Amino acid sequence: MSYDSFIELIGDIDIVTNKDKEEFAIPIAVANERDLIHIEFKQECGVSLICGFPGSGKSTMIRLIIAALLKNKEETPFEIYLADTTGYEFPEMLEKESQQLKETLFGLDERNIKNFIDKLHQRFMEKMERVVHNSWDRTGKDAVLKNEPTTFVFVDDGYMMLEELSSQEYIDKFRMITTHGAICGIYLVLLSQIRGAVYRKLPLLREVVGQSIFLSPYAQNDLQKFGNREIIFDGYNLNGLDRFSVAIKKKNQEEMKRGKLFYITSDELKQLL
């Protein structure tokens, strides 16, 4: 599915499903030609984990999310913290300034990783202080906080970033943000080639990941040829599936939704920045 198809399908859909609670539902794929598949950002979803081998569409999905946010930025203030451990997946974010882009990390230099986590942790503490000060609980939000921008944190690849950290202090800081960020409007999207790897690095993620998204450009017959590459789907039964590129599993939901990922290029996103 192309970006033009993506724009045509979402039309005038407001990605904010509940403005008072700052809940977002962003279309990322389509099933049965017209049924949209959404990634949701709300407290009960916690962290989103996107898994897939190189070329399966992880970066494309992040571009889709950012594009949908940018199209609604006048009504839905937001900010982005972007960690690209490869250093080349998001060139458009370096080439063009964006008011929404607050902090970036490119590559795996440990000093830069620590600086990125420090900036993110500082933002977390600022937001949490406001939440506590305004006595905001999980069911409501004080009017004073309504104009506070929602913070989206994209980390590609989460496992590689954490693997480079030799300091337990910084691992603990990142763990705190992953476990409590959604309370104060910070949503993390972690990308990883293999789901089990990032879970081994941060075991508590198993409790806070609210939606797991699996990406694959292969058909079921192709998967059989790749043998143990099926571990990317962590044991989910793929027998009988038609060709698909997205499978999304929400927490506390038995059924997995499957569809075709929309496609957006770096140049198309750059036009929106």
Residue 155 pairs in a beta bridge with: 83, 190
Q: DSSP character for 41?
A: E
Average pLDDT over residues 219-247: 49
Average pLDDT over residues 239-256: 72
Which of the pair, 116 or 241, is modelled with greater confidence? 116
- Please give the pLDDT value at position 2: 55
Band the pLDDT of 20: cuts 50, 70, 90. low
Q: What is the pLDDT of residues 35-89, one digit of tens each?
A: 888 899 988 777 999 988 777 888 888 988 988 888 777 777 899 999 999 888 8
- Please give the pLDDT value at position 230: 39
Q: How far apart are CA 248 and CA 225, in angstroms?
A: 23
Q: 110 pLDDT exceeds 90? A: yes
Q: How far apart are CA 261 and CA 218, in angstroms?
A: 13
- Please give the pLDDT value at position 69: 86
Which of the pair, 152 or 249, is modelled with greater confidence? 152
- Please give the pLDDT value at position 224: 45
Band the pLDDT of 147: cuts 50, 70, 90. low
The tokens describing 160, both together, are 């590689």
Nearest to 98 by CA among 66, 146, 75, 120: 66
Average pLDDT over residues 106-125: 96
The amino acid occupying position 213 is: I
Average pLDDT, the chain: 78
b/e per residue, 164-200, with b = 16+ CB within 10 A? Answer: bbeeeebeebbbebbbebbbbbbbbbbbbbbbebbbe
Q: 29 pLDDT exceeds 80? A: yes
Q: Within a 10 A sphere around the Cβ of 215, how many other Cβ atoms? A: 23
Band the pLDDT of 21: cuts 50, 70, 90. low
DSSP string, 47-107: EEEEE--TTSSHHHHHHHHHHHHHHTTTTS-EEEEEEESSSSS-THHHHS--TTEEEEEES
- Please give the pLDDT value at position 6: 59
